[in-house]
A and B are shown apart, each in its own frame.
Chain A
Amino acid sequence: MRRDPATAAAEVIGMTPLGPEDLRAKAQWVWRETLKVHRKAPETRLASSLSSVEIFVALYYGGIIAFDARQPLAEHRDRCIISKGHGSICMYPILADLGFFPKAELDRVCHAGGILGGIPDPVIPGYETINGSLGHGLGVGTGVALGLNRKQSPNAVFVVAGDGELHEGANWEAIMFASQHKLDNLNLVIDDNRISMLGYTDDIITHDHFTGRLGAFGWECSEVDGHDVVAVQAAMARMKASANGKPKVLVARTLKGRGVPGLENAALSHIINPKPELLDQILAQTAGQDTPS
């Protein structure tokens, strides 16, 4: 009944999912492009956008998400709801690369006349919902999953959320709802970088182990090294293919600000802006480590 996800995605995007080496290279390219976006638009949130690089690369280049860049709201797409809006600036180069909008937009992030703001909104082709206010994506995504279920659609919903925003109680209303209604077309990916704005979530309100908590709520849970893009892709493919009447969550263990000295896993990384000279230095040192887009 459920289509093979890779086949479904390939039908829509007309491209073969990248193999392991290309996925890794693409992830490195996206990481560098994200630094470049932030270099030009320091208003963007860098640290939380670096923890989610491999998650989005696996979704969009690993054949997980069925999408159509020419018709971003095509009925036969999978719905990718990016709840952690601030922390998805890495989606800007991805969406430009895939043809959702012209690459020239990347040169005017946060500038008048552009569409790419400090926090992405659904005026950007490829974004489904409002994401600036945290804790809404899972609830809306659950409603979308119910709608797809009732329409007997083969398409899936992916919600990418940060661990910090799961402090919002409305998420847990949706978590209870999704298992009650057996929404196995709903896939939650948690970018578990364990830092929100003012520090480590374990010091604020710990989520302890998401797998234990969400498992107790009736979800099928798995965990992965969120920076191993090949492992992330494999875990997502498994969760998408699983049709056992349970909503699914993939906990991606990640590092906020990954790869940037002074930012990586720093308690206040959300609000630290690395100096432009440091970013230039990192970009120079890592030049040539990725493939051209």
Chain B
Amino acid sequence: MSTQAPATRPLAMRDAFLDRIWRAMADDAQIFFTCADFGSPVLDKIRADFPQRFVNVGIAEQNLINISAGLALEGYKVFAYAIAPFITMRCYEQVRVSLALLSEVRPMNVNLIGVGAGYSYVVSGPTHQCYEDLTAMRALPNMRVLSPADHVTAGALFPQCLDNLGPKYLRFDAQVLPVLYENGPPDMGRGFHVHRSGSDVCVVATGYMVHTALAMAERLAHHGIDAGVVDLFNVTGFDADALLATLQAHAGVVTMEEGFRGRGGIDAMMFDLLTQRGIRLPMRNIGVEPGYRFELGNRQELHEQVGIGIGAATRTVEAFLRSLPGAAQLPKPPPKQSRAAA
């Protein structure tokens, strides 16, 4: 916590989380690790040191889920590991029946670790990219959805995964993202963290999009717009009252996710929260324009094409704010604003 502490070296989320598992396995004989033929350097330590509690089912995600469910019924705390679209949608029926549904009756602890949120497998195309998982997983009662934005948060999610019964989905980025929490993880029990407070608009983002939101907020500040940014890392288990109090200090709300817009992701979740509480706050949603694309490019370029890059998102937020009653008080965009960069 000291300010003299050396800067935290960024890690892959999976390595931060798997390292916590590996360390815990030495003391907790109930931890079992399953994977569908998907690795990482830390995984090599797990399978070398705990061969009796590691199993690779092969390229067989349906069996990954059923085997994990069976192990969990026998009291094991199971961590199942695969590429995000495959561990969620290739085996959705198994996730629904053997985890979400069965856990209603039989206590079980199964943690699905999905690597490859959004566009993070940049050049692998739409099979490996993952835009539907937030929707698919949050549709299931009993399923907790966790979506960290850096490896510090990812690692800090481990204790609640180990100690709480129920199925959970961890949505990890495949790339190494910059560290957001240099001085230690945020308040994990709260489920979200306010990175900056604003007044004009509050951006609720998850995963990689928190980084985009922070960059966008800087850009908006140059345009005279005061934007707050919230990192929503516990999509199904945040302190709703606290988040609403934060949002109500702003004139409008924007959601940002690296998933299809308008298809039941955090956009729908925030809409539901506001309407169920009877809170009238203007909202705009930023997400991937629904459609499958095969264009190649870096992640930022792809994001701009589908409406979630810094440039595209900034334009959306500015248009949103201009549309609000009282928008005349907002500063006009500077005339020399460059669109070429977007």
Contact = CB atoms under 8 A, between A and B. Distances in A.
A123 B102 CA distance: 10
20 contacts: A121-B105, A122-B105, A123-B105, A130-B97, A139-B63, A139-B65, A139-B66, A139-B69, A140-B66, A143-B67, A143-B70, A145-B70, A147-B70, A147-B73, A150-B53, A169-B62, A170-B66, A173-B57, A173-B58, A177-B63
The 9 closest A-B pairs by CB, nearest first: A143-B70, A139-B66, A147-B74, A173-B63, A143-B67, A144-B70, A170-B62, A173-B60, A147-B71
Given A146-B55, A150-B52, A177-B57, A139 B74 contact: no
| Interface secondary structure of A, over-half rule | helix
Contacts of A181: 55
Given A140-B102, A145-B70, A151-B74, 8 more contacts: A123-B105, A136-B66, A139-B62, A142-B70, A143-B67, A147-B70, A174-B66, A181-B55
A81 to B, nearest CB: 9
B74 A133 contact: no
Interface string A65-99: 00000000000000000000000000000000000
Interface string B74-117: 11100000000000000001100110011001100000000000
Nearest to A153: B74
Interface residues of B, number: 29
B218 to A, nearest CB: 48
Contacts, number: 94
B60 A140 contact: no
Interface of A: 121-123, 128-130, 133, 136, 139-148, 150-151, 169-170, 173-174, 176-177, 181
B71 A143 contact: yes
A268 to B, nearest CB: 26
A133 B58 CA distance: 24
Nearest to A132: B97
B105 A144 contact: no
B68 interface: yes
Contacts of A140: 66, 69-70, 73, 98, 102
